[in-house]
Amino acid sequence: MKRLLELIGPLPFLALAILAMGLAVGVAAAVFSALAPLAQTGAAWSHYAVLGIVFAVSYFAYGLSLLVIAPAINFLLGGRLQPYRGSAVTLAALRWYVHCTMTLVVRYSFLEFVTPSPFSQMYYRLMGMTIGRGVTLNSTAIADPSLIELGDGATIGGSANILAHYAQGGFLVIAPVRIGAGATIGMRAVIMGGVEVGAKAKVLANSFVLPNTKIPDGESWAGIPAQKIVLPKREEPTALPESAMGTATPRPGAVA
């Protein structure tokens, strides 16, 4: 069986990507057919401008429908991932490949246009991600969303990578990732499988958090690999210094 899986390689998953994209393109084609006659009305000079707008609307019809079609296919073929450690070339890993395919096809063909927005969060929820209230999710570099949990008020910075998997000792390891309430993941930071970030903790920009790292509540981590750091506390002045307080000259006739 392993030899057979190695021979067929990515072909079944390419077929799944074609299926998802093809269904979404069908929606776009229907929208284009309905709106294209509008380009034939009005002055001749406006023909190409209207046609271009129709093309753009059709593309967004493709993308928005793909946000629903891809999770539906993922659900029908396995749904949520489960923690796993074993060979990457086995029947037990097939669900992960399906999940990856339905994530990547959306990410690379449309998702950037609607991130951050309620549309991207809707898509990730449909893929199984747990997203709390008031979450800011400003990244599409998300893998294995069904094993990722974002607590209330968490912030994921631009292009931050969150992956609930890694390779170790020749095995594929799939492990859940939990980002606590109010935690912040900086721009382009990398969070690997098995990581837990505590409530109100911070992972600074461009940091790399190794697999299975546990970051306690309220701590700040940075670096490659990420380690605990102590950020200087910001002192809030209780009153303006005297040097900043000028003396006002009374205007003639002013009443004290």
Lowest mean pLDDT among 16-20, 93-97, 205-209, 225-229: 93-97
Is 184 within 8 Å of 202 (Cβ atoms)?
yes
> What pLDDT sits at residue 41?
76
Confidence label for 254 from pLDDT (cuts 50, 70 and 90): very low
Domain count, the chain: 1
Judge whether 150 and 185 are in contact, CB under 8 Å.
no
Residue 246 DSSP label: P
**Residue 5 placed within a domain:** no
The reply to whether 203 falls in a domain is: yes
Give the C-alpha separation, 36 to 31, whole Å: 8
Q: Highest mean pLDDT range out of 27-41, 78-92, 179-193, 236-250?
A: 179-193
117: in domain = yes
Angle at 97 between CA 166 and CA 131, to 5 degrees: 70
- In this prediction, residue 223 carries a pLDDT of 94
pLDDT band of residue 166 (cuts 50, 70, 90) is very high
Q: Is the pLDDT of residue 221 over 80?
A: yes
Q: What is the pLDDT of residues 8-43, one digit of tens each?
A: 666 788 899 999 999 999 999 999 999 988 877 767
C-alpha to C-alpha distance for 219 and 197, rounded to whole angstroms: 9
> Within a domain: residue 241?
no
Evaluate whether residue 112 is within a structural domain. Answer: yes
Say if CB 159 and CB 189 are below 8 A apart. no
pLDDT at residue 235, as a whole number = 57
Q: Decide if 242 is inside a domain.
A: no
Distance CA 204, CA 224 (A): 11
Residue 248 clears pLDDT 80, i.e. is over it: no
- pLDDT recorded at residue 245: 44
pTM of the entire predicted model:
0.83
11 vs 224, more confident? 224
Domain for residue 88, yes or no?
A: yes
| Confidence class for position 256, pLDDT limits 50, 70, 90 | very low
pLDDT at 21: 96
Query: Which of 40-49, 106-115, 201-210 comes out lowest in average pLDDT?
Result: 40-49
- Return the higher-pLDDT residue of 255 and 183: 183
How many whole angstroms separate alpha carbon 144 and alpha carbon 140?
A: 12
Q: Is residue 100 part of a domain?
A: yes
In this prediction, residues 160-186 reach a mean pLDDT of 94
Residue 81, pLDDT > 70, answer yes
The DSSP-derived string for 211-244 is TT-EEPTT-EEETTTTEEE-PPPPPPPSS--GGG
CATH value at residue 203: 2.160.10.10
Mean pLDDT, residues 125-130 taken together: 96
Q: In this predicted structure, what is the pLDDT of residue 231?
A: 80
Predicted local confidence at residue 43, as pLDDT: 72
Q: Name the band, by pLDDT with cuts 50, 70 and 90, for residue 92.
A: confident
Residue 203 lies in domain: 10-228
Q: What is the reported pLDDT for 2?
A: 54
